[in-house]
Amino acid sequence: MATPDSTPQPVEFIGFDKALKTIEQQNGRISDLQDELTDAKVSLSEKDGEIATLNLTNERLQVRYDEREKKFQTELAQAVADAEARALASMSHLQTTGLTDDERRRLEELKRMRERQNQSDGIVFDENPLRRN
């Protein structure tokens, strides 16, 4: 009796076995590539999430920066207006008659602006801090 291993196989079966082996190898390679693709997609998703988080953080920081910049500009404008008002007030106390019409208008404008600002902030502005008349 002949065993299956000892019987020579026809040439077609040898080619078929090689083709099956090649197909199995290619299927393994395809499976490996699909795994790599899945890993890459997961990594890309994670990176997209990180980018979205960073964009949100950047937007929040930009909003805070803009708020601080606006506050700084407001405080700076207020400080300049205060300094101008004080300078003009001290000038008016020293040389009331020496002011030009433009300077008097500017002084009055600054006083009104300060009064409005102070009323909105609830601050009492001392027009004569040195108590000079």
pLDDT digits (tens, 9 = 90+) for 67-99: 999 999 888 888 888 887 777 677 655 555 566
**Residue 82 to residue 74: CA distance in whole angstroms:** 12
Burial label for 130, CB within 10 Å (0-12, 13-18, 19+), is exposed
Tokens of 82: 């205060």
What pLDDT sits at residue 1?
A: 46
The residue count of the chain comes to 133
Neighbours of 125 (CB within 10 A): 15
What pLDDT sits at residue 133?
A: 46
Is the pLDDT at 4 greater than 80, yes or no?
Answer: no
Rounded percentage of the chain residues whose pLDDT exceeds 90: 38
The dihedral through the CA atoms of 16, 18, 23, 28 has a sign that is positive
**Residue 123 to residue 83: CA distance in whole angstroms:** 16
Rounded percentage of the chain residues whose pLDDT exceeds 70: 70
The whole model's pTM is what? 0.44
Q: What is the mean pLDDT of residues 43-53?
A: 96
Q: What is the mean pLDDT of residues 28-47?
A: 96
Burial label for 11, CB within 10 Å (0-12, 13-18, 19+), is exposed
- Which of helix, strand or coil describes residue 78? helix
Q: What is the CA radius of gyration of the chain?
A: 43
